[in-house]
Amino acid sequence: MKNSQFKILGIAIIMIFFSASTSVFAQKGNGWGQNSNYGRNFNANEINTVTGTVTAVERILPNKNMSYGLHLKVKTNTETVSVHLGPTWFLDNQEIQFSKGDQVNVTGSRIIFEDAPAIIAIEVVKDEHILYLRDKNGYPVWSGWRKGMTKRGVN
């Protein structure tokens, strides 16, 4: 009788572990992939570069089905634009961090997000550091290595 109770307990523990880990992994990648509703906003035909000053660093929820993301408000000579970097769980673990007042050079896909100009960033240059976020087709570096990607995460 005790052996069967241990087997049931063991199976229950394994099921709880896999259920919890699946939930965590699903939450981390939730909505930030190239083929997600959000990721499909990326337009490879609308790539440009802006230079400006960070006026705000924001953690926002682009939509209810996504994990939190990091956005920069960047003031250029002609506009203030929201720069969408990526999920906070990825960005919080990078060497480069952003603060109000930083001078940045952002390359990415121009979009309209919530009726305002925005850029989904491919890369951000701050001082001599470069943060690579996506390839030229919008494939995020946090989605893992794929054929053709270099160490820097770009083709």
- 11 found inside a domain: no
Q: Give the whole-number percent of the chain exceeding pLDDT 70.
A: 67
Q: What's the confidence (pLDDT) of residue 72?
A: 97
- 150 found inside a domain: no
- 20 found inside a domain: no
Task: Count the domains in the chain.
Answer: 1
**Residue 69: is its pLDDT beyond 80?**
yes
25 CB-side CA count, 13 A:
7
- 54 found inside a domain: yes
- 87 found inside a domain: yes
| Residues β-bridged to residue 82 | 73, 118
Q: What is the CATH number of the domain that holds 123?
A: 2.40.50.140
Give the C-alpha separation, 82 to 73, whole Å.
Answer: 5
> Which of 34-43, 62-71, 114-123 is most confident?
114-123
Contact call for residues 154 and 132 (beta carbons, < 8 A) = yes
- 14 found inside a domain: no
Phi, psi of 117 (to 5 degrees): -65, 140
Domain of residue 138: give its range.
39-143
